Amino acid sequence: MHRTKIIGMGFHVPDRILKNNDLKQWMDTSDEWIQERSGIKERHWVSEEEAASDLALAASKKAMDMADIEAHEIDLIIVATISSDYYFPGVANQLQAALGLRTVGTFDLKAACSGFVYGLSVADQFIRTGQHKTILVVGAEAQSKFIDLSTRGRDMGVLFGDGSGAAVLQRSNNESGILSTHIHSEGANMNNLWMEGPGTRGNNWVNQESIDSGVCRPHMNGREVFKNAVRRFPEVINEALDENNLSLNDIKLIIPHQANFRISQAVAKRLGVGMEKIFSNIHKYGNTTAASIPIALTEALAEGKIKRGDNIILAAFGAGYTWASAAIRW
């Protein structure tokens, strides 16, 4: 059975930049308060006219350019997102049309911050079994459209940025590629990080009552999320190491979901590694949910932090709870 190889990466963020002090127009906050709690200095937000599919298209074109492929070579599209343009159909359908691909399979995957790694895992199975040859996996988010920009929603409102990252996958013809993927979920804790509406449970559809109550805004129990994240990140990283008989000394770089710099620091401490082994760009983009790992991976490649033959680990934790990892030999 053949391995799956990432042959192209690309990312795109909106032009609009909001620095921490810009948020003071909506809520009681400060640059110092935000940086101390998250490490974030600024984030990119979409304009009124932009949506997740626009970001996905721009990132996909860059990934295809790096891979040196034409759109017609793609035979499956997977988009990880929790901020799709429409309730239905999915962003993957829109991306297919925008790329001019007439009837190839497409679907959205909803695993929040773990979505891109979940998408890699699914794509890996399709390529390993020979069902598909060239797969486009995208993480795309425009969460600024529905975050609560009042002081009430400050704990989450200061965290999120918009953006998209994309990867083109094909069968590897050598020892490089995805070594293993590992996906997990624990639904019992879902209401520690969730957006209750709009939905079909109770009175959660969009109406004045649900808007006023905050049901249609994301909510987070920050203490519980932090506690679980710093537990699950090391677990799923070690799972990837054990599966492939690797040690942390064999790993060039760990690229975690960019949730919070304090979480990354705590994970590094638990693993017993320095922060030079943990990639971070949260200060520039904030938490871009499903887009954060492909954005970070693209930047790490551009900065020369990953070379041919290097072993890397992608690791994610997010709403659900979901958590996941992928061990990759570049």
- Residues annotated catalytic, as ranges: 113, 257, 287
- Residue 190 φ/ψ, nearest 5 degrees: -60, -30
Helices (H), the chain: 31-38, 52-67, 91-98, 115-128, 154-157, 208-213, 222-243, 261-271, 282-285, 292-302
pLDDT at 1: 62
Report pTM. Answer: 0.97
pLDDT at 35: 97
List beta partners, residue 182: 325
**Residue range 255-272, pLDDT digits in tens:** 999 999 999 999 999 999
Count of beta carbons in the 10 Å neighbourhood of residue 284:
17
pLDDT at 215: 86
Angle at 182 between CA 308 and CA 5, to 5 degrees: 30
**Residue range 270-283, pLDDT digits in tens:** 999 999 999 999 99
Per-residue confidence in pLDDT tens, the chain, 330 aa: 689 999 999 999 999 999 999 999 999 999 999 999 999 999 999 999 999 999 999 999 999 999 999 999 999 999 999 999 999 999 999 999 999 998 999 999 999 999 999 999 999 999 999 999 999 999 999 999 989 999 998 998 999 999 999 999 999 888 899 999 999 999 999 999 998 989 898 878 888 887 788 888 898 999 999 999 999 999 999 999 999 999 999 999 999 999 999 999 999 999 999 999 999 999 999 999 999 999 999 999 999 999 999 999 999 999 999 999 999 999
Angle at 302 between CA 326 and CA 271, to 5 degrees: 40
Q: Could you give all domains of the chain from N- to C-terminal order, each with its CATH number?
A: 4-173 (3.40.47.10), 179-329 (3.40.47.10)
Please report the sign of the dihedral spanned by the C-alpha atoms of residue 35, residue 38, residue 40, residue 45.
negative
